């Protein structure tokens, strides 16, 4: 059920990365349900089309397939989208890759893969947003983070480092873009029941998974929980919120 007005984002355009599944898909659906137009970013054109058919006002939404690998290419891609489809009112950067691997086995290739779509792409988005004729004054940028960026967990050194980097970027970028009234925030999610979550817990065993769920005071989350937070941060309801990380984690961090 949509907790927001069906017209609160009408007339606005938002780029959503990772829109083919999980958190990106859920947020794209909610933006559309609130009247916004969505530029659907992701690697797989067919899966992006599967997302678009779920959106309210299907015809107005745009498929924008692209593989997020580095800052330079990402910046050019975002600028190209703004040139073709008009200035953006906001960006929700959800794309990312999980990695559970002991640090002794973590090589440069693993770091590259983990940082590409998360940190490097986020910086490319930031660079594009920092230039003229890409976003509207007063736009909102929301980058996806994780509780891993603030908590210690064995086997997640690379992933945790990537998410901590995203949150550092958010704080500095919020200061730099404040003169243009552009807000920048992050969402640090706990365990959300998505395909990524299923991959991470598949081999953990029932007892370990139950213990992990108990570590979240409110249990595992749903993709819609993050989507609600993202739309709050993208909308005018958060017009005085910038440079912060919103924890949407069912109480994981306080436990």
Residues with active-site annotation: 159
Q: Outline where 91-243 has alpha helix (H).
A: 108-115, 121-129, 157-177, 195-201, 206-214, 223-234
Short-list 215, 208, 96, CA closest to 163: 96
CB atoms within 10 A of CB 251: 13
Strand boundaries in the chain, DSSP class E:
13-17, 37-42, 62-65, 88-93, 135-146, 183-189, 245-248
The dihedrals phi and psi of 211, each to the nearest 5 degrees, come to -65, -40
- Angle, helices 108-115 vs 157-177, to 10°: value is 40
Short-list 55, 56, 47, CA closest to 18: 47
């Amino acid at each position: 059920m949509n907790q927001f007005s069906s017209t609160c984002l009408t007339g606005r355009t938002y780029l959503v990365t990772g829109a083919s599944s999980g958190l990106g898909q859920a947020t794209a659906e909610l933006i559309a349900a609130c009247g916004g137009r969505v530029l659907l970013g992701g690697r797989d054109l067919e899966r992006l089309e599967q997302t678009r058919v779920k959106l309210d006002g299907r015809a107005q939404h745009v498929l924008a397939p692209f593989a997020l690998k580095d800052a330079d290419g990402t910046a050019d891609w975002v600028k190209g989208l703004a040139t073709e489809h008009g200035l953006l009112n906001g960006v929700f950067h959800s794309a990312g890759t999980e990695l559970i691997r002991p640090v002794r086995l973590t090589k440069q290739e693993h770091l590259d893969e983990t940082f590409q779509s998360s940190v490097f792409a986020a910086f490319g988005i930031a660079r594009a947003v920092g230039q003229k004729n890409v976003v509207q004054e007063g736009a909102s940028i929301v980058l996806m983070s994780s509780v891993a960026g603030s908590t210690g967990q064995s086997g997640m050194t690379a992933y945790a480092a990537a998410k901590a980097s995203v949150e550092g970027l958010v704080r500095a970028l919020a200061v730099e873009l404040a003169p243009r009234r552009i807000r920048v925030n992050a969402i640090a999610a706990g365990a959300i029941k998505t395909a990524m979550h299923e991959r991470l817990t598949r081999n953990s065993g029932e007892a370990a998974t139950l213990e992990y769920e108990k570590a979240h005071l409110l249990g595992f989350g749903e993709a819609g929980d993050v989507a609600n937070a993202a739309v709050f941060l993208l909308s005018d309801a958060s017009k005085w919120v910038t440079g912060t990380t919103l924890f949407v984690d069912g109480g994981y961090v306080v436990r």
